[in-house]
Amino acid sequence: MRKLFFSLVALVLMVCACSEQIDTSSRYVFKYNTVASYLESKPVYSQYVDLLKKVSINPNRSEVSSVYQLLTARGNYTVFAVTNDAIDAYLQDLVEEGLIAEPSWDAFTDSVKLDSIRSVIVRNSVIDGYDREDQRYSIEMVDMNTELALPTLSDHRLTINDSKTNSDSIFVNKVCPIDPLNHDIPVINGYIHQIHKVIAPKDESCARYLQNILDKKTEGYLMMARVIQACNLLDMLSKEIDQEYEQKYQRGLIPDMKDYQARSGGDKSATAGDPDAHAPEHRKYGYTIFAETDEYWRSQGIDPTAPDALQQLINWIQKNNMYLSDEKNKTDDNYDSPDHILYRWVTYHILPMRIPANKLVYHCNEIGYSPTRPGVYTLPVYEWYCTVGEGTRRLLKLYESKESQGVYLNRFPILDNEIQGTGAEIACDKNKQGIFIDKDGEKAVVNDITNACIYPISGPLAYTDAVRDNLGKERIRFDLFAMFPEAITNNIRRADSSEGKYQHVYVPQDQDYKYFDNVSILNEETHFIHYNGYRIDWPNYCQDEDKVFGKYDIMFTLPPVPKRGTYELRYKVLATGARGITQVYFGSDPNNLPAAGIPVNMAEGIAVTYAGEGGSWSDLSDDNRDDDQIIEIDHKLRNHGLMKAARHEFGENKTARDDYRQKRHILIRQTLDPSKTYYLRFKSVLDTDKKELYLDYFEWCPKEIYDNPSKPEDVW
């Protein structure tokens, strides 16, 4: 009993030692406070409150209202409130950096610097969730190691991290501790979380980040930084935001699409509280780098600090066949030549979009997956993205399954993809396991660079004969918005927000500004909208879908095929009465594309397209049929240029393959070359401007899969 008594006393003392005691059973009391009034009542936040009153909501627009005033109003705010001790520690850091002479606000002699530091502390600590309660973030509702969907007032996105060593420790951006007791404090207009270090992202470009590594010879990514510098890629990695677009948007020259439902024919799948589809606020540039660490290079006998490290790496690339054997590679000192072996090697490590750790692949509506259990995976999911580099376009595959235990690059497993199979990964040959991305590790750089993420990888990455050949042996399914790096960098694709400006995004017309490099809007009557589908049960590949309205004429630049060969290009349709009829064109000359077959009627389900008005889904469905019968029906459909949708995704209590409205059109079957760029154009053949073009995903499928005499193409 005595031992128990002392244990209880120790526990009480430990709790009392915390900076602020919160009785969670009485938290309803705080709901009578706003964020502002709660903070004002706590002496531990006195400096922070003073700063809130001095920092304007939007200094770039000469906003006179302070952030404090914002936090007194109705709304849904998430506030990472900084303690006095944390602010004092930050001022001491500024002393050590030589910015001020002593850790005091009076030490600032430059008013611009003073305003800048105040803004850093305040604007990085507040997230405005607008008018939606589901956009005020409590820690218990956030998935760990996930970037929050909405940005701070400074337009940074924060990541909430758990500790690898202490399950009770939670951080913002890995380094700013959240108080274990004083978080998830509910008030009238949001949540408050006490933090013990100022959130101060470095606000530097990827180029500046790598240059600092070079200047200081910092271990970690020194070798990668040296190669990127030698190949003259730092200029590319310095690009952060399209200033021309920024200025046009601020001047109101990038219009929204007003009352988009009425103009689109009133498709009820477009219902939302906001009647308008909004143009993107920014056009930022972004990059993702998958990097071998210096530790790895040392294991290979290469010293990243050595004067001849680049030549050592070139020798290693050649010795280990880390290149395509049929390419003529230069090995001289002109590293920035697109034909140089080092340039080709390093550009295959870089994607032209910034991808946060939780969006390297998307788990959303594959069979068995539920967003209420985000860490419980079922079927494999994958993306194929085109890497950077002049003179060549190459695909990099990102893959994750329940069995893989993480995201991999260029993994080519064996799947249980028979007709009666599960679709899951059942095995993976040792030489096809791919390269693990350590997206949550200490070396992952996600929040400190404004325009990039850097992820350490488990082994050497290269576009080799084996990688190309394996890519050329699989069906490549690409969601439309995976084709647009700008959509990923600017948080348009799969934005985790119910806010109207994220749910319905209006792509600017080319006459106003060409927002996506891989899209050409060919007339002024074409209106292109992205429907995000967040928390909407749509039976699309990644739940989102895209629509084009008006008497449209629009052209897309397609991803490359992996290797020369015969391919089919497929186009998936989900038929409704809102869809129209479109003529499709395909080819390598964007100014002279030949028609690809007869017009596609997107209002017809697959049975009607196949057999006419009398067509019956019961004649085509898999229900109560054995494998041979299913294969025979699929063969008949293919003879008419049709396929059922894939079994992979799930919607309305059935898979897409079991939905009579869904179909894939085989648009072309041709010999294609990876050195050529191919374009796909859609043009309305109807007089009305009220019928829409539906867009979800496309597929490249090699002859080896669709015309395999020993194994029919899988249903997944």
User: Which pLDDT value is given to residue 539?
Assistant: 86
CATH for 2-195 is: 2.30.180.10
Confidence of residue 462 (pLDDT cuts 50, 70, 90): very high
CB contact at 8 A, 485 and 285:
no
SS3 (DSSP) at 161: strand
Give the DSSP H or E segment for 68: helix 67-70
> How is the chain split into domains, by residue range?
2-195, 202-240+284-466, 476-706
Confidence of residue 269 (pLDDT cuts 50, 70, 90): low
The Cα–Cα gap between 407 and 386 comes to 17
pLDDT score of 141: 87
Backbone angles phi, psi at 631, to 5 degrees: -65, -40
Per the CB < 8 A criterion, the answer to whether 475 and 384 are in contact is no
Query: Mind listing the pLDDT tens digit for each residue in 590-602?
Result: 999 999 999 999 9
Q: How confident is the model at residue 1 (pLDDT cuts 50, 70, 90)?
A: very low
Q: Which two tokens stand for residue 595?
A: 């028609």
* Residue 118, both tokens: 């105040």
Tokens 């299913």 locate to 630
202-240+284-466 CATH, one of 2.30.180.10, 3.10.129.10, 2.40.420.20, 2.40.50.100: 2.30.180.10
Q: What share of the chain is helix, strand, coil (3-state, %, to 5)?
A: 30, 25, 50
Q: What percent of the chain is modeled with pLDDT above 90?
A: 84
For the entire predicted model, the pTM comes to 0.93
pLDDT band at 117 (very low <50, low <70, confident <90, very high): very high
Coil vs helix vs strand at 5: helix
Cross-strand bridge partners of residue 77? 128, 190
Q: Do domains 2-195 and 202-240+284-466 have the same CATH topology?
A: yes
**Residue 267 pLDDT > 80:** no
Distances (CA, A) of 266 to 83, 536, 549, 578, 602: 51, 18, 11, 8, 16
Q: What is the radius of gyration, based on Cα positions, of the chain?
A: 27
Question: Residue 499 has what pLDDT?
Answer: 87
Does the pLDDT value for residue 23 go beyond 90?
Answer: no
Residue 138: the pLDDT is 95
Mean pLDDT of the chain: 92
Q: What is the mean pLDDT of the segment spanning 481-508? A: 94
Which residues pair with residue 579 across a beta bridge? 692
Closest by Cα among 471, 488, 470, 467 to 479: 488
Mean pLDDT, residues 558-581: 97
Q: What is the mean pLDDT of residues 308-322?
A: 98
- The pLDDT score that the predictor gives to residue 613 is 93
Euclidean distance between CA atoms 507 and 513, whole angstroms: 9
Of residues 266 and 627, more confidently modeled: 627
Helix, strand, or coil here: 337? coil
Sign of the dihedral defined by the CA atoms of residues 482, 487, 493, 496, in that order? positive
Q: State the average pLDDT over residues 208-230.
A: 98
Q: What is the mean pLDDT of residues 307-315?
A: 98
Tell me: pLDDT of 17 over 60.
Answer: no
Q: CATH number of the domain at 476-706, please?
A: 2.60.120
Write out pLDDT tens, residues 329-372. Answer: 999 999 999 999 999 999 999 999 999 999 999 999 999 998 88
Contact status, residue 495 vs residue 506, Cβ threshold 8 Å:
no
